[in-house]
Amino acid sequence: MPKKEILIIDDDEDLSFIISEMLESYGYSVTCAGNSEKAFELLSENSYHLILLDINLPDTTGFELCSELRRVSTVPVIFASARTSETDRITGFDIGGDDFLPKPYSMKELLSRVNALIRRTYGFSQEEKIVSFGNVTVNITARTVTRNGEGVSLSLREFDLLAYLCEHKNTAVPKEKLLSEVWGAFSMVEPSTLTVHIRWLREKLEEMPAQPQFIKTVYKVGYMLEVRE
């Protein structure tokens, strides 16, 4: 299934890079523009499923850009800005914005807003990624986990780690790879953090966490989700 395309329009290059890395790790394809000129150039050549738009841009405002965009497109727009007055929020919605996210915001909230707006606009994916092992079912697409038919509550990072192991089931994944892919290539997370998250997953999903049947340690390598098919 083709990836959903997202355009970030923000002159903060560092923030745009961080957001791009996060969204791409969740299966989106992301393009960035630092000003309206570049944004319109990209929009004239490509189609996008969602736009994340800052209000303060170097050559115009996000409001003006959105107004121009609404003359030719109904693509969903999320305003993300440090300008959080009631007037700014109302203006954003009145000119065609679909959501308004005040800066600073967490990556978890941004992902949730993006996912929700994508679902409302385009519907749910018909090709769900589901992996089952023992009495556990992981729906990677819907980001849900059940055990014996009951929902299991996982943190954002716990689910990311489990989903990565599911997508690479029956393969020994090096610890360094898991840290890079789940926490980010530029994170300063200690290896012990991975060990703790693995233990938490085992406690929530394994019958005997001390003797895991599925989430296995691979000596001198890393971890593997063993799924008997």
Q: How far is it, in rounded angstroms, from Cα 134 to Cα 5?
A: 36
When pLDDT is cut at 50, 70 and 90, the band that residue 90 belongs to is very high
Q: For residue 95, how many C-alpha atoms fall within 13 Å in the half-sphere facing its CB? A: 20
Residue 152, pLDDT score: 92
Bridge-based pairing state of the strands 173-174 and 215-218: unpaired
Q: Is 106 exposed, middle or buried (0-12, 13-18, 19+ CB in 10 A)?
A: exposed
Q: What is the 3-state secondary structure (H, E, C) of 36-80?
A: HHHHHHHHHHCCCCEEEECCECCCCEHHHHHHHHCCCCCCCEEEE
Domains of the chain by start residue, with CATH: 5-122 (3.40.50.2300), 130-225 (1.10.10.10)
How many Cβ atoms are within 10 Å of 141's Cβ, its own excluded?
Answer: 16
Cβ atoms 209, 130 nearer than 8 A:
no
Read off the pLDDT band of 34 (50, 70, 90): very high
In the predicted model, what is the mean pLDDT of the chain? 90
Average pLDDT for residues 93-118, to the nearest whole number? 90
Q: Quick check: 125 pLDDT over 60?
A: no
**Gap between the Cα atoms of 77 and 57, Å rounded:** 16
Residue 180's pLDDT is: 84
